[in-house]
Amino acid sequence: MNLRRALIVARKDFEEFRKNKYILGTILIMPLMVAVVLPMIYVVPINQLGESRGNPLDLHLDVRVVYANVTISNATIFDARIENSTVVNTVLQGCFVIDSSISGANINGSEVYYSDVRNSLLINSNVYSPVKNDGNLLTDSQLIGEDGELKRLQDIMFNVLLILLIMIPVTIPTVTASYSFVGEKVNRSLEPLLATPITDLELLVGKSGSIFLMSMGATWAAFAVAIGMVDMLTYPVLGYNPLPTDYWMVGMLLLAPAMCILSILTNVIISSRVNDVRVSQQIGGVLVLPLLIFFFSSLAGVLSTGVGPLIIFSLGIFAADAGILWLSLRVFRREQILVNWVL
Amino acid sequence: MIETVGLGRVYDGRVAVEDLNLKVKDGEVFGFLGPNGAGKTTTIRMLSCLIGKTSGTAYVNGFEIGKEPDASSIRAMVGLLPESPGLYESLSAWKNLDFYAQLYGMSRDSRGKRIEELLRMLDVWDRRDDPVATYSKGMKQKIGIARAFVHNPKVVFLDEPTAGLDPQASLTVREFLDALSREGSTIFLNSHHLDEVERLCDRIAIMNRTVLAVGAPRELAEGYWGRTTAIELAQIEPRFVDAVRALPFATNVRVLDGRILVDLDRPDERNPEIVDALAAQGARIEYVTELRRTLEEVYMRLVGGVKR
C-alpha cells in the first residue's frame, strides 16, 4: 500500500470538509454543546448536593510534629501531621491527617484527607474525600468531597456525560462518511478517481483516515474542554477535581476510537447500498444503540460501572471493527463500486 | 497501442459487449460510434481497468487488462473522461487538477507547469482559483478533459467529450484534442456527434455490442457503397441514361434529383468514357462530381434498424 496516495486523498477530503458548512457545523457545534453546555447543566445537582453539606470549617492548624508510616494507639496527639499511618483508639486534637487508617478515634478540630475513617467521633473537623466513612459520628463537622450519595450522583452524571461525549465520534462520521462516500457517488467523481493508480485499500484508508482524524480531533478536544469545565465548576464545592477518572480515560482513549472506527466502516457499507446522504446518516445513527445499551445497563446495575467491563466492551467493539473492516474491504472494490453501487 | 481480442462483458446475463476485436495504433485518434447501450462505455471501462471482462482479452500498450500488476500499469498510463466530468465542486479547477496530478506521482514543478498549460489551452486559466461549483457546464467539461490529460498519458479515453458544449466551446475542445494528439497521445473517444467524430478521428469503429465496421470515415462510406459519380445535364432524356447503362463498367445507373448517378470502381479512369458516351448522344453536361456518402448514412445503414 502506498501511504502517500492515501494521504493525498485524506488531504483532499479535509479540504472539502473545510468548505462544507454542514460538516463544519457538525464538527464544531456538537462537541461545543456536549463539552461546554452539558457540563454546566450536569454540575448543578452535584453542586447543590455538595453545597447542602456546607463549606469547610476554617480551622487554622498549627502543625508542630510529624508522624509518618507509624501505628498510633491509645494516645493523645496534639498539633501533628499524621501521614500514611494507622491510628487506633486515639484522641487527635488540631491534627492534619492524610492517607491514613483511623478507627475508634476522637477527632477534634482536625482535618482528615483521603483516609479510611471508621467508628470515630468527629467534632468540629473537616473530612475530605474519605476512602471509607463507616460508623462515624460527625458533630459540628463537615464531610467534604466524594462519598456515598454524592459519589453515586456523580457517577450517574459523569457516565451520562461520557455517553454523550462518545456519541461525538459516532455521530461525526455518520455525517462526514456519508458525504465522503455517498457524496462521491452523487457527484460522479468516483469513476475518474478509480481510474487513477490508487488501489482500493489506499482509497479506503485515505478516506477513513481523514474522517477518523477529524472526528477524534473534535472528540478529544471536547473531552479536554468537558473535563476542564466539570473540574472548574465542581472544585469549589468538592474541594478536588473529580475528572478524569480511570473510567473516563478508558472511555476517551479506547472506547471513543473503537466506536469511531465502527461508525466509519459501517458507513462505508451503508454507502454501498444507499444513494442518498440523508438515508445513509439515518441508518448510521443506529450505531449508538450498543453504546446506549452498555451504559444504561451499567447505570441500572446490570453491569458494573467499573473500568474492567468498559475495557472488555471497548475490546469487543474493536473486534467488531475488525469484522466490519473485512466486510468493507469486500464491498469497497472498483468493480463492485462501479457496477453495483447505484451511480 | 490498444488491441482487443474477442473482448466481452456480460452483466447479470445481459450481454453488453461481445467478441470485440479492434486494433488502435499509437498516436491515433480513434472514434467509437454506436447507439445508446451499444457497449461503448463498458468498453472504455474495461480498457481503463475499472471493470473486469467476462470473455476474451485486451492489451493496452502491451499490458493485459484485468490482471495485476498489469492493470496498475495501465491505470498509470491512461487518462479518462467519463460521461459526467465528476469534479469536486467545492474545490477550484487548479486544486481538482493538482489532486489528480499528485495521485499520478507528478512533482510539484511539473504539476504546476502542466496544469497551467492545459488551463490556458482550454481558456479557463482566468477562473483557475474559483470553485468549480461556479462554473458553467461547458467549463466543467473542459476541466474534466484537462484532468484526463494532466499526467501526459499515453492513452486517453474520452466519453462524449463535447456533450453539452456550445459551438465555440466545442471548437476549443476539438482544437485542444487535435493539439494533444499531435503530441503523441492515443485518443479513444466515444461520441454520438458524427460530425465531430468525422472531423477529429483518424479512424472510426461503429459498434453495437460488437464492432460492425472499422475504418477511416471516407473508407467506411466507400466500403459500403463503392464510389458514385453524379452527372448533371442541362436536360435528362431516356437515351442519355440508356447510353450510360450500355457501358460495361457502369453499375447501378439511376436518376435522382435531376442527376444521373453511376457506381464505379475507378471513377478517375471511367468518368471520361461516360462523358464521351453522353456527348456522343448530344447531351449537354453541366457538372461531373463524385457523390460523397456521409458518415451518418453509413451509421444509419449499420445501426439504424437495430432496436435495443
Q: How many CB pairs under 8 A join A and B?
A: 78
CA A168 to chain B, closest CA, distance in angstroms equals: 25
Asked if the Cβ–Cβ distance from B91 to A15 is below 8 Å, we say yes
Residue ranges of domains in chain A: 3-50+148-339, 65-140
CA B77 to chain A, closest CA, distance in angstroms equals: 9
Nearest to B100 among A19, A196, A199 (CB): A196
Q: Which three cell numbers stand for residue B215?
A: 475504418
Most A CBs within 10 Å: which of B50, B53, B159, as the mutation test of the A interface?
A: B50
Chain A residues near residue B51 by CB distance under 8 angstroms: 334-335, 338-339
CA A15 to chain B, closest CA, distance in angstroms equals: 8
Asked if the Cβ–Cβ distance from B87 to A189 is below 8 Å, we say yes
Nearest to B11 among A192, A195, A339 (CB): A339
User: What's the pLDDT tens digit per position in A211-244?
Assistant: 999 999 999 999 999 999 988 888 877 777 888 8
* Fold of the B222-297 domain: Alpha-Beta Plaits (3.30.70)
Nearest to A20 among B45, B90, B147 (CB): B90
CA B255 to chain A, closest CA, distance in angstroms equals: 53
Chain B residues near residue A190 by CB distance under 8 angstroms: 86
Chain A residues near residue B108 by CB distance under 8 angstroms: none
Chain A residues near residue B90 by CB distance under 8 angstroms: 15-16, 19-20
Q: Does A101 touch chain B (CB under 8 A)?
A: no
User: Which pLDDT score is estimated for A225?
Assistant: 94
Q: Which residue has the higher pLDDT, A343 or A235?
A: A235
User: Which pLDDT score is estimated for A196?
Assistant: 94
CA B95 to chain A, closest CA, distance in angstroms equals: 9
- The three-state (H, E, C) secondary structure of chain A, written as one string: CCHHHHHHHHHHHHHHHHCCHHHHHHHHHHHHHHHHHHHHHHHHHHHHHHHHCCCCCCCCCCCCEEEECCEEECCEEECEEEECCEEECCEEECCEEECCEEECCEEECCEEECCEEECCEEECCEEECCCEEECCEEECCEEECCCHHHHHHHHHHHHHHHHHHHHHHHHHHHHHHHHHHHHHHHHCCHHHHHCCCCCHHHHHHHHHHHHHHHHHHHHHHHHHHHHHHHHHHHHHHHCCCCCCCHHHHHHHHHHHHHHHHHHHHHHHHHHCCCCCHHHHHHHHHHHHHHHHHHHHHHHCCCCCCCHHHHHHHHHHHHHHHHHHHHHHHHHCCHHHHHHCCCC
User: Which pLDDT score is estimated for A187?
Assistant: 83
pLDDT of A147 strictly over 90: no
Nearest chain B alpha carbon to A191: B82
Chain B residues near residue A339 by CB distance under 8 angstroms: 11, 51
Residue A341: which pLDDT band, with cuts at 50, 70 and 90?
A: low
User: Which pLDDT score is estimated for B129?
Assistant: 95
Surface of A (18-77) touching B: CB under 8 A: 19-20
User: Which pLDDT score is estimated for B48?
Assistant: 93
Asked if the Cβ–Cβ distance from B100 to A20 is below 8 Å, we say no
**Residue A222, exposed/middle/buried by CB under 10 A (0-12, 13-18, 19+)?**
buried
User: What's the pLDDT tens digit per position in A9-32?
Assistant: 999 999 998 888 888 888 888 888
Q: Which residue has the higher pLDDT, A45 or B96?
A: B96
Q: Which residue has the higher pLDDT, A47 or B20?
A: B20
Question: How are strands ordered across the β-sheet holding A91-93?
Answer: A76-78, A91-93, A106-108, A121-123, A137-139
pLDDT of A103 strictly over 90: yes
Q: Does A246 touch chain B (CB under 8 A)?
A: no
Cβ–Cβ under 8 Å, residues B88 and A184: no
Identify the CATH number of the domain defined by range B2-215.
3.40.50.300
Asked if the Cβ–Cβ distance from A197 to B89 is below 8 Å, we say no
d(CA B281, CA B244): 10
User: Which pLDDT score is estimated for A310?
Assistant: 87
d(CA A253, CA A267): 22
- Chain B residues whose C-beta is within 8 A of a chain A C-beta are 11, 45, 48-52, 72, 75-76, 78-82, 84-91, 95, 99-100, 102-105, 131, 144, 147-148
Asked if the Cβ–Cβ distance from B82 to A192 is below 8 Å, we say yes
Chain A residues near residue B99 by CB distance under 8 angstroms: 8, 12
CA B82 to chain A, closest CA, distance in angstroms equals: 7
Asked if the Cβ–Cβ distance from A191 to B50 is below 8 Å, we say yes
Helix A21-32 and helix A200-238, axial crossing angle in degrees, nearest 10: 30
pLDDT of A271 strictly over 70: yes
pLDDT of A342 strictly over 50: no
CA A11 to chain B, closest CA, distance in angstroms equals: 9
Chain B residues near residue A199 by CB distance under 8 angstroms: 72
Asked if the Cβ–Cβ distance from B82 to A335 is below 8 Å, we say no
Asked if the Cβ–Cβ distance from B91 to A334 is below 8 Å, we say no
Span A257-269, average pLDDT: 89
Nearest to A334 among B11, B50, B147 (CB): B50
Chain A residues near residue B50 by CB distance under 8 angstroms: 191, 194-195, 334-335, 338
Asked if the Cβ–Cβ distance from A19 to B91 is below 8 Å, we say yes
Residue A144: which pLDDT band, with cuts at 50, 70 and 90?
A: low
Asked if the Cβ–Cβ distance from B86 to A338 is below 8 Å, we say no
Intervals of CATH 3.40.50.300 along chain B = 2-215
Residues of chain B with pLDDT under 50: 306-308
